[in-house]
Amino acid sequence: MVAINAQGPDTITSAAADAKRIPDLESRVRVAAGQTHPLVGRNDANLAGAIELVRRSIAQGVQLLVLPELGNSGYVMNSRQEAFALSEPIPDGPTCQAILNELRGTELYVCVGICERSGEVLYNAAALLGPDGYVGTYRKVHLWDEEKYFFEPGDLGFPVFKLPFGRVGVMICYDGWFPESSRILKLEGADIICDPTCWVLVPGLIEAQNPLSAQVHMALAHMNNLFIICADRCGVERGCTFIGNSCVAGPSGFVAGPASFDLPEMLVADINLGAARRHHWTAMADPIADRRVDVYGSLLGYSGPRG
């Protein structure tokens, strides 16, 4: 399923409106969130599914594709030994190398969630890959629940990568419930946040239709005047239910999605980064310019990568 939503102030509008704009402030990007159903321990099949979405994205002129958290390995691991066996290095592992082979000669960049092995240490990570090769890595800063048994907290901070169409940051799933994550990325210059996720069904929360997870990330995009591409997984794995509802959110709300609860699909959206860069709530209300940095500091105490 492909859903393209080109309505609203955050998306591409008519040619007549385009003529009134300042060309160098425009940056139009076709993005996609790939919602998949990976299975733990099925790395080859998981990679085949990712490659299929990469090829579909290339065929549809997508410039930035986001794939789910731990998409190479599956999510629910029974032991650190199992997690280690399913892990791979970035960018020399099979997932990165296979995707990089597909990207040569295209205009597509891919953010893919990976169970990363670095020496004897494991990270819940995401690799950013492009036509010219490996771009960079983000390692999840805030570890959810039993992830703490398997992974080390991310040590690379919140980097922002400069791509041909704009500035791209990355956070992973639970990072979104810490508003510092998206705000720091915004203040570091991000136009788009890639968010590989594994949103799970949490008892007591509304997480099937119009879930809080998607609403939280729509609010973050609104508050920070940027776009967030949330690529979730769906299905049940070892008794854990994932909620789908992948989405693309911008300053004025959802641009595409939320997707279905339980089916793989790909959401495609045409977004206008220039509109977001100029977005103000009113002539005198701008949630970035109006920050009281004399009270709480310009970067919320952020000091960059550890070490």
Q: Which of 111, 173, 194, 198 is flagged as catalytic?
A: 173
List Cβ neighbours of 177 (8 Å cut-off, separation of 6 or more): 142, 216
Question: Per the residue annotation, which of 88, 96, 111, 140 is the catalytic one?
Answer: 140
Distance, CA of 43 to CA of 22 (rounded, Å): 47
Among residues 69, 102, 116, 237, the one annotated as catalytic is: 69
Q: Position of tokens 């070892």?
A: 238
Q: How far apart are CA 6 and CA 259, in angstroms?
A: 16
**Residue 305, burial from CB neighbour count under 10 angstroms (0-12, 13-18, 19+):** exposed
Burial class (CB in 10 A: 0-12, 13-18, 19+), 78: exposed
Burial of 179 (0-12, 13-18, 19+ CB in 10 A): middle
Give the three-class secondary structure for 51.
helix
Helices 43-59 & 94-103 angle (0-180, nearest 10): 20
User: Is 69 among the residues known to form the active site?
Assistant: yes
Active site residue 148: no
CB atoms within 10 A of CB 236: 12
CB 128 within 8 A of CB 168: yes
Query: Is 20 one of the catalytic residues?
Result: no
Identify the CA nearest to 205 among candidates 241, 258, 233: 241
Burial category of 262 from C-beta neighbours within 10 Å (exposed 0-12, middle 13-18, buried 19 and up): middle
The residues assigned a catalytic role are 69, 140, 173
